[in-house]
Amino acid sequence: MRTPPKRRWTLRSRSARNLIYQLLLLALIGLLIWFLAHNTARNMAVRGIQSGFDFLFQTAGFDIGEGLLDYDSSQPYWRAFLVGLTNTLRVAVLGIILTTLIGTLIGIGRLSRNALLSGLCGAYVEFFRNVPVLLQLLMWYLLFTEILPAADAAWRVDTWLGPVFLSKGGLSFPAPVASASGWVLDLPRQGEFAVEQGGALTPEFLALLIGLTIYTAAFVAEVVRAGIQSVPRGQTEAAASLGLSRAQAMRLIQLPQALRVIIPPMTNQYLNLTKNSSLAVAIGYPDVVSIANTSINQSGRAVECISIIMLIYLCTSLGTSLLMNWYNARAAILER
């Protein structure tokens, strides 16, 4: 067996020149970033504008309406940003789950032989994907704050878990709490002025979650529909010849093969939902953008706060992409 000749790195070789060009490009980009950062810092210093991320350890001095973490105004800015981050992830994760379920059902419904069902699913897609998402968020927010009854006259629905109340104060529901004997349900009850006890979701959170879910589900439905229609008709005919029902053929034959077409554009919709959650500031939900705006007004560190927002959305987007790429590799059909 002949040993392949060793590659010699000379300026005449294309691989060496390509490497040099790439290194020069990286150096140029680094120099440009340094120049912009240095120039910005110098101009801010001339104008007496403070800079740096040391403000993150100073007292924030403002309250946050809701959050999964304990917080009060005496805590530092970094804690406030952490609360805003958890609020953003809270909407993004729940929104992705609900969007996937609703969008998949709507996409399958568009392919139904039932003309009424197919028409309703098509009307859903055409309406919600052609109305700007900001208007939809405002519509849902006005629904919760203007049309629903006051908190002292909340609508009540009894479920097998316990009562559920809906009003301008939000949604109250039975919530599990720890006790000496294990977990028990803390049931909400109608008080004199508002619903007391139990778990609660604010109108701002509900408006944001429902608006983003319904809007993004319209796009996901089209992704699912296109993915299913990309499966050759022979697969469906083969399933029918084996005696499988349409539902069985969809679940066992069409959807698994359609995943390789569905997952890449579905990833884009997940990223869009996460980034569109920044519109929460329009309806008063304290996400990371809202926290950053308040921090800018109080500390004057606009560049730093915007940099934090960019870093957070970059990390969440890259994390979502990595997870979906891993799932795409797992769902890929191996060919011989």
Q: Which residues contact 267 (CB under 8 A, 6 or more apart)?
A: 320, 321, 324, 325, 328
Buried residues in 296-334 as b, exposed as e (16+ CB within 10 A) = eeebebbbbbeebbeebbeebbeebeeebeeebeeeeee
12-26, 63-77, 96-110, range with the lowest pLDDT: 12-26
Spans of all domains in the chain: 77-331
Q: According to the model, what pLDDT value does residue 6 have?
A: 55
Give the model confidence (pLDDT) of 40-74 as tens digits: 777 767 776 667 788 899 999 899 988 888 899 89
**Percent of the chain clearing pLDDT 90 (strictly above):** 49
Residues 6+ apart with CB under 8 A from 230: 258, 261
Average pLDDT of the residues of the chain? 87
pLDDT of 161 higher than 60: yes
Read off φ and ψ for residue 51, nearest 5 degrees: -140, 165
Q: Are 110 and 125 in contact (CB under 8 A)?
A: yes
pLDDT of 10 strictly over 70: no
Q: Look at 77-86, 111-120, 182-191, 207-216 and tell me which has the smallest mean pLDDT.
A: 182-191
pTM above 0.75, yes or no: yes
Q: Give the range among 48-62, 198-212, 312-326 with minimum mean pLDDT.
A: 48-62
The pLDDT tens digits of the residues spanning 109-142 come to 998 889 999 999 999 999 999 999 999 999 999 9
pLDDT of 322 > 80? The answer is yes
What pLDDT is stored for residue 68 in this prediction? 87
- 244 vs 238: CA distance, rounded Å: 9
**What's the CATH superfamily of 77-331?**
MetI-like (1.10.3720.10)
Determine contact, residues 134/282, Cβ cutoff 8 Å: yes
Confidence of residue 333 (pLDDT cuts 50, 70, 90): low
